[in-house]
Chain A
Amino acid sequence: QGKFTLLRDTRTDGSFLVHHFLSFYLRAGCKVCFVALLQSFSHYNIVAQKLGVSLAAAKERGQLVFLEGLKSCLDLLFGEEEQPGQPSPLQFLSTSDLRALFDFVRVSLTPADGDSWKGPVLLVDDLSVLLSLGAAPVAVLDFIHYCRASVCWQLKGNVVVLVHSNEDSEDEGNELVVNSLCHHSDLILWAEGLATGFCKDIHGQIKIIKRLSLRQAAGQDLVQIYQYKIQDRNVTFFARGLSAAVL
């Protein structure tokens, strides 16, 4: 409860982690607010069905609040005048102010009467897109801070956020956001492409960092490293060097 998890990927695509957390929390019976900025609803739906969860059904029973960034963006730019008092959550495209997005998140996760879901969860895929769309790095950090304050501390829920990063990245804004978030996360899942290059059997390596040093003064972070291979319906993890292709 009240945990902030950071999903990070470098040189590879970490979206399989997003799919995992989405189906994990839905199966656990939590109320999920998914801010999906990069892909369409049907993409997530199809993958979730392979993982055993139906997003459409979850949406219908009110368990899932899905913000489809691509669609909202089109509605904002090409649609007719919106009703006053209902600003689009993607307002920041024109005003570079993320407050409307935060309000959307807060409203969707605040428990309504008659809600029987266990803890609220905010899932964001992915945060680096906000920077591409004109939001300043500091504004993005503020947004995350507000989300943490309301979701983690006030509502005792969890927040899971995906960011991209690169070594020798020249994108300073992105690096600033990623480094700052790393310092404030309880758990970091870092998917990296192999340093030696592309391999058919091992798609990458995942570093799991449990930031015990956040909660305890003298605690040390616990780091575990595994390698993984992504298949059609699941992902297999194994210790380094013990891939099935090698044994």
Chain B
Amino acid sequence: LVFTEEDKYGLYSSLLFKYFLAEGVVCGHDLFVASAKEHPDNILKELPAPLLDDTYGKELGDEAAAKSEDVQDSMKIAWRYQNLPKMEASPTTYTKFGHYYDVSKKMAPELCQSVKRHSFYLHEELSSEADMKTWNMNSGYARLLQSIQRIISQEGFDGSDPQKKQRNVLRIGIQSLGSIVWGDDVCCSDTPEDAHSLTKFLYVLRGLLRKSLSACIITVPAHLIQNKAIMERVTNLSDTVVGLESFIGSERETNPLYKDYHGLVHVHQIPRLNSLICDVSDTKDLAFRLKRKLFTIERLHLPPDLSDTVSRASKQDLAGSAKLLSSGCGAMAMGKKHLDF
């Protein structure tokens, strides 16, 4: 269960959402899209087109060739760092995990229609299902859960149909959960009417996901939720929690430290399933940027602070981000730390 906190204007999180669905189409998984704001068919029409491997490989190859030329000269001052691996902002030797997409082009309709799609548009689902008494939660959520459960058992994702030989995966995408369009006022007030609807929904969804071959991404406008307690509980109930913070409209947009990027990615939690340990990466600071064709997530690296007249504000910001840079910093600094004497 991947829980994504939306950025303020929802631009980048809907992009991430579409990536998830597009990956499903390319892999041949079934899709289930639920939304209350935009009709799911419209969402599906706007999935990015997959990049054929050779074009992307060529682009990356050009970049990598340009980079590797200047790295061979040995370092004179920071020679201690010579032995550390060169920090790569984005994985150049990309492992074949997933596909890459071209954001400027839309996915061909034939490709999109090659997989089975189910959708749930809240305003079209009339109150047909009766028997809400055991549910005790927001009716929109309850109907969504019933719809998901129906698809799972009908299409055999939970292994209930032993005759079905080809097992497939169901990718579920739910957009803008918790917002007012779903009938939940958890984003509007500090003491919502039914504070437990969202958490109960997540718990039941978690049960459904564990029981079947499905994966789910949910985007939530977390910046609107006033009651922080709910966010804590929701984090506990999800496997992966990722927050997107875009720089639009905030002071960081003009900050020279962040000029290459469009926003930050905060990984709040990663799943620890079937094992005592979890797969923790070296660094937790990731930033994203939207180039004309690609949406990339890279490690955040600060440019070297070379100027003499560095202003107070940016120094504080640097200190603030240095706090974020945890002790994995030593390996990635490579002359980028600001030494204060």
- List the interface of chain A (C-beta within 8 A of B): 13, 15-16, 19, 38-40, 42-43, 46-47, 50, 69-71, 73-74, 76-78, 93-94, 96, 128-129, 131-134, 164, 166, 169-174, 196-200, 230-235
B306 lies within 8 A of chain A by Cβ: no
In the complex, the answer to whether B210 meets A93 with C-beta atoms within 8 Å is no
Contact with A along B133-152 (1 / 0, CB 8 A): 11110000000011001000
In the complex, the answer to whether A166 meets B273 with C-beta atoms within 8 Å is no
Contact with A along B107-126 (1 / 0, CB 8 A): 00000000000000000000
B280 lies within 8 A of chain A by Cβ: yes
In the complex, the answer to whether B134 meets A94 with C-beta atoms within 8 Å is yes
Report Cα–Cα, A199/B328, bound state, in Å. Answer: 7
In the complex, the answer to whether B326 meets A199 with C-beta atoms within 8 Å is yes
- In the complex, which residues 192-238 of chain B have their Cβ closer than 8 Å to any Cβ of chain A? 196, 199-200, 203-204, 206-208, 210-211, 227-229, 232-233, 236-237
B275 lies within 8 A of chain A by Cβ: yes
What is the CB-to-nearest-CB distance from B97 to chain A, in angstroms, rounded to a whole number?
Answer: 22
Pick the residue among A50, A93, A170 that contacts B200 (CB under 8 A).
A93
In the complex, the answer to whether B280 meets A42 with C-beta atoms within 8 Å is no
Q: List 6 A-B residue pairs with CB atoms under 8 Å apart, sorted by A's residue number.
A: A74-B204, A94-B134, A133-B203, A170-B228, A200-B280, A230-B277
In the complex, the answer to whether B227 meets A170 with C-beta atoms within 8 Å is yes
Pick the residue among B135, B275, B282 that contacts A200 (CB under 8 A).
B282
What is the CB-to-nearest-CB distance from A245 to chain B, in angstroms, rounded to a whole number?
Answer: 10
* CB neighbours of A43 from chain B (8 A): 273-274
In the complex, the answer to whether A171 meets B134 with C-beta atoms within 8 Å is no
Query: Residue on B with the closest CB to A74?
Result: B207
A50-B276 contact, Cβ under 8 Å, with A132-B196, A170-B227, A197-B326: yes
Report Cα–Cα, A10/B136, bound state, in Å. Answer: 31
What is the CB-to-nearest-CB distance from A189 to chain B, in angstroms, rounded to a whole number?
Answer: 16
7 further A-B pairs in the complex, CB-CB below 8 A; given A73-B203, A93-B200: A70-B207, A74-B211, A131-B233, A169-B232, A199-B327, A234-B276, A235-B276
- In the complex, which residues 147-193 of chain B have their Cβ closer than 8 Å to any Cβ of chain A? 149
Report Cα–Cα, A96/B199, bound state, in Å. Answer: 14
B272 lies within 8 A of chain A by Cβ: yes
What is the CB-to-nearest-CB distance from A96 to chain B, in angstroms, rounded to a whole number?
Answer: 8
B262 lies within 8 A of chain A by Cβ: no
Report Cα–Cα, A38/B233, bound state, in Å. Answer: 12
The number of residue pairs between A and B whose CB atoms lie closer than 8 Å in the complex comes to 117
* CB neighbours of B199 from chain A (8 A): 132-133
Report Cα–Cα, A77/B129, bound state, in Å. Answer: 13
- In the complex, which residues 269-318 of chain B have their Cβ closer than 8 Å to any Cβ of chain A? 272-278, 280, 282, 284
* CB neighbours of A73 from chain B (8 A): 203-204, 207
Report Cα–Cα, A89/B12, bound state, in Å. Answer: 42
- List the interface of chain B (C-beta within 8 A of A): 133-136, 145-146, 149, 196, 199-200, 203-204, 206-208, 210-211, 227-229, 232-233, 236-237, 272-278, 280, 282, 284, 323, 326-328
Q: Which 5 A-B pairs have the closest CB atoms?
A: A171-B229, A70-B207, A197-B326, A132-B199, A170-B228
Report Cα–Cα, A93/B149, bound state, in Å. Answer: 18
Report Cα–Cα, A234/B275, bound state, in Å. Answer: 10
Pick the residue among B135, B146, B211, B233 that contacts A128 (CB under 8 A).
B233
A93-B229 contact, Cβ under 8 Å, with A73-B207, A132-B203, A232-B275: no
Pick the residue among A77, A128, A173 that contacts B236 (CB under 8 A).
A128
* CB neighbours of B275 from chain A (8 A): 46-47, 50, 232
Pick the residue among A16, A174, A232 that contacts B229 (CB under 8 A).
A174
Query: Residue on B with the closest CB to A202?
Result: B327
* CB neighbours of A71 from chain B (8 A): 207, 211
Query: Residue on A with the closest CB to B280?
Result: A200
In the complex, the answer to whether A172 meets B276 with C-beta atoms within 8 Å is no
* CB neighbours of A77 from chain B (8 A): 134-135, 145, 204
* CB neighbours of B145 from chain A (8 A): 77
Pick the residue among A39, A40, A230 that contacts B276 (CB under 8 A).
A230
In the complex, the answer to whether A173 meets B229 with C-beta atoms within 8 Å is yes
In the complex, the answer to whether A170 meets B211 with C-beta atoms within 8 Å is no
* CB neighbours of A40 from chain B (8 A): 210-211
In the complex, the answer to whether B327 meets A170 with C-beta atoms within 8 Å is no
What is the CB-to-nearest-CB distance from A56 to chain B, in angstroms, rounded to a whole number?
Answer: 15
A166-B232 contact, Cβ under 8 Å, with A94-B134, A200-B280: yes
In the complex, the answer to whether A164 meets B276 with C-beta atoms within 8 Å is no
A78-B236 contact, Cβ under 8 Å, with A173-B229, A197-B326, A199-B327: no
